[in-house]
Structure 1
Amino acid sequence: MGDQRSVTGRTSQVLRDYRLKPKKSLGQNFLTDSRVLDKMVRAADIDKETGVLEVGPGIGSLTERLANVAGKVVAVEIDKRLIPILENTFASYDHVQIVCGDILALDVPKVLKEHLSSCKRTTVVANLPYYITSAVIMKLLELNWSFYRLVLMMQKEVAERVLAKPGSKDYGVLSVAVQYYATPEKVARVPAHVFVPRPHVDSAVLSLTPHKTSPAFVANRELFFVVVKSSFKERRKTLANNLNAHLFTDWNKSQVNEWLNRVGIDPRRRAETLSLAEFARISNALSDSCLI
C-alpha cells in the first residue's frame, strides 16, 4: 500500500520542481490520498493480463500503482505541460505508454487496438474533470469495446445521479443511460481536502461493470435515448406533457394519453418514476408502430 506522506510530498515536490500551477480550465485537482488510490486499484481488479486505459493521469501517482500490477497501461493526458513529467517518471516502464490528447476527441478504439489489443481484458481507471464527467462516461460506455470494468472518480453529485434509482430526486437521464450499459457501485467517498488544489465539492469513486446483456431489450437504441431525454425534459411535468411537447409534437394531449394507456404506462406519471424497462417498453412500442 502507498504511504500517505509520500504521495502528498511527491505531489507538492513535482509542482514546485516544474513550477506548475493546476489549470482551472482543465478542472485539475491532484489526488494526494494513498488510501483512495489503493481503493481504486483494488476495485479495478487488475492482473498481469489486464490492459488499463487511464484517463487524466496528472503527475502519475495513480499511474504508478497501475503500472505495478497491470500488464500494460496507456495513460491519456490532455495537458501538454504534464507529458514530460509523465515520460520522465515512466521512462523505465516499457509497458506504460503516455498519450497526449483530449479523451473526448481521441479515436479511443484506435488507441486501444494499438496499445492494449494483446491483453486478455481491458479496464478503465480515471480521475475525471468535473466539467466533462458525463460526456466521458457516455463516450466510454458507448464504444464498441468490451471493457471488463470502469473505475471512475467524479463529483459526488454526479455519482449520486449515476447510482440513483427510480423515484429519487437524483434519478434522471444519466441514471438511465449508465444503468442501460452497466451496473454502478460505490467504491469510496473522497473528501475535498485530499486534493491539491482543494475543490469546492467532495468526490466519489464508482465502479461500473458493463452488462453482458442489457437488463431490458431495446429494439432501437437511438430511439430509446430520444424517449428518455424527452421524458425528462421538464422534470415537474407529467410524462404525457413532456412527450407531447418534445416528441409527439403533431398530437394533442388526449392522443398521447390514449397511446400511453395502450402501452400500459399511466400518462400522469413523471419520468423519474419510470424504470429502465418501462422506458424500453415505450421506445419499443414506438419502434414497432413506426410513429416516429
Structure 2
Amino acid sequence: MYKDIATPIRTKEILTKYGFSFKKSLGQNFLIDPNILRNIVSHANLTKDSGAIEVGPGIGALTEHLARAAKKVVSFEIDQRLLPVLEDTLSPYDNVKIVHSDILKADVVKVIQEEMTNIKDIMVVANLPYYVTTPILMKLLNDRLPIRGFVVMMQKEVADRITAKPGTKEYGSLSIAIQYYCTAEIAMIVPKTVFMPQPNVDSAVIRLIKHDTPPVNVIDEDFLFEVTRASFAQRRKTIFNNLQAGLQNGKKNKEVILSALQMSGIEPTRRGETLAIEEFGRLADALYPHFCNRQ
C-alpha cells in the first residue's frame, strides 16, 4: 500500500526534496488531509470504467485518489516546476496522463478523444485555482465536453453564488449561467486548516451534473446570458432600469423593454434576483428580435 501524498509530513518531504516554493499568482494551496480527498472522490461516483479530468494537480494529492478509483485520469498542470514532482509522486500509477497546459487554452475535447477512447463516463474532479474558478468552469461548459458533470472545490463564497436560488442575495448571473447547464449543489464544506499554505477563506466542494436538456429553451443562449448580466448590473435597481442601462441602445428602446417585460409576465419594478431562469428565458426571447441581428 502506497503512502498517501496528502499528509503534512509527506507533503513537506516532497516540497523540500524538490525545493518547491508556492506561487501566489497560480493560487497554489495543496490539500493535506487524505479523508477530505477520499470524500471528494466519493462524490464523483467513479467506477473502474470511468475517466476523470483534473485541473491543477499540484503534487498529485487528489490525482492519486482519482487514479485508484477510475480507469484513466488526465490532469492539466500549468506550472512546469511541478512536472518532475508529479512524475515521481504518481510513478506507482500507470493510468495517469499529465498534460502540461493552461486549461483555459487547452483543446480539452481533443485530449479526451485521444486519451479516453471508449470511456463513456467522464467527470471533471479538481481543486480549482481560486483566482480562475469561474473562467475555467465556463470554458469547460461552453466547450460542450462529453462529460457527466463536475465535482470541484472552490472558495465557499463562489460555491454559494453558483448554487444560489432566486430571491437570495447570492443569486446572480453566475448562478443562472451554471444552472442553465447543470444541477448544482454543495457537496461538502472544507475548512482552510486542511491546506498548505492555508488560504484566507473556507472552501466548498460543489457537484454539478449536466442536464440532458437545458431547463429553458431559448432562441439564443449567448443573448440569454447577456440579458441576465444586464439584469444584475446594479442589484438595487429594478430590472427595467438595469436593462435600459445594460443592453446596447437600451435607453433608446425603453418602450420595447417595457413591452417585452409585460409579454413575459414580469413586473418592471421587480429586481433581477427575484426572477427564475424560466422567466429570464421568456424575457430574452421577447427582447431578441429588437436587440439581435444574429442569424
Q: TM-score range by the shorter chain?
A: over 0.9
The one-letter code of the counterpart of 2:217 is F
Distance in 2 of aligned mates of 1:168 and 1:199 = 26
1:8 aligns with 2:8: yes
The secondary structure found in structure 2 opposite 1:147 is coil
User: CA 1:201–1:6 in structure 2 vs 1: closer, same or farther (change >3 Å)?
Assistant: closer
Worse-matched range after superposition: 8-17 or 196-205: 8-17
The secondary structure found in structure 2 opposite 1:235 is coil
The secondary structure found in structure 2 opposite 1:83 is helix
The secondary structure found in structure 2 opposite 1:251 is helix
The secondary structure found in structure 1 opposite 2:136 is helix
Residue 275 of structure 1 is matched in structure 2 by 276
1:130 aligns with 2:124: no
Listed one character per residue, the Cα deviations across residues 17-61 of structure 1 (whole Å, up to 9, x for unaligned) are 111111101000001111210111101111111111111110001
Offset at residue 256 of structure 1 (A): 2.7
The secondary structure found in structure 2 opposite 1:285 is helix
Residue 105 of structure 1 is matched in structure 2 by 105
Distance in 1 of aligned mates of 2:53 and 2:264 = 42
The one-letter code of the counterpart of 2:252 is W
1:266 aligns with 2:260: no
Q: How many residues align?
A: 291
**For the Cα contact (< 8 Å) 2:264–2:279, is it kept in 1?**
no
The secondary structure found in structure 2 opposite 1:213 is coil
Residue 215 of structure 1 is matched in structure 2 by 215
**For the Cα contact (< 8 Å) 2:256–2:287, is it kept in 1?**
no
Offset at residue 236 of structure 1 (A): 1.2
Residue identity (%): 48
User: CA 1:4–1:186 in structure 2 vs 1: closer, same or farther (change >3 Å)?
Assistant: farther
Offset at residue 89 of structure 1 (A): 2.3
The equivalences for 1:77-226 within 5 A come to 77-226=77-226
The secondary structure found in structure 2 opposite 1:59 is coil
Residue 230 of structure 2 is matched in structure 1 by 230
The one-letter code of the counterpart of 1:259 is A
Worse-matched range after superposition: 266-275 or 255-264: 255-264
**For the Cα contact (< 8 Å) 1:4–1:35, is it kept in 2?**
no
Q: State the TM-score, normalized to the length of structure 2.
A: 0.93
Distance in 2 of aligned mates of 1:256 and 1:106 = 39
Worse-matched range after superposition: 109-118 or 150-159: 109-118
The one-letter code of the counterpart of 2:277 is L
The one-letter code of the counterpart of 1:21 is S
User: CA 1:153–1:280 in structure 2 vs 1: closer, same or farther (change >3 Å)?
Assistant: same
**For the Cα contact (< 8 Å) 1:4–1:33, is it kept in 2?**
no
Worse-matched range after superposition: 1-10 or 101-110: 1-10
The one-letter code of the counterpart of 1:268 is T
Distance in 2 of aligned mates of 1:120 and 1:263 = 40
The one-letter code of the counterpart of 2:265 is G
Distance in 2 of aligned mates of 1:255 and 1:218 = 19
Distance in 1 of aligned mates of 2:6 and 2:152 = 23
Structure 2: 5+ residue runs without aligned partners?
none
Listed one character per residue, the Cα deviations across residues 202-255 of structure 1 (whole Å, up to 9, x for unaligned) are 000011000011111122111111111111111111100011112152535455
The one-letter code of the counterpart of 1:76 is F
Distance in 2 of aligned mates of 1:153 and 1:74 = 17
Q: CA RMSD in A?
A: 1.9
Residue 52 of structure 1 is matched in structure 2 by 52
Distance in 1 of aligned mates of 2:91 and 2:191 = 32
**For the Cα contact (< 8 Å) 2:6–2:31, is it kept in 1?**
no
**For the Cα contact (< 8 Å) 2:5–2:60, is it kept in 1?**
no
Distance in 1 of aligned mates of 2:19 and 2:126 = 25
Offset at residue 198 of structure 1 (A): 0.6
User: CA 1:50–1:33 in structure 2 vs 1: closer, same or farther (change >3 Å)?
Assistant: same
Residue 252 of structure 2 is matched in structure 1 by 251
Listed one character per residue, the Cα deviations across residues 112-165 of structure 1 (whole Å, up to 9, x for unaligned) are 111113212111011111110011111111222231121000001000001110
User: CA 1:17–1:262 in structure 2 vs 1: closer, same or farther (change >3 Å)?
Assistant: same
Offset at residue 178 of structure 1 (A): 0.6
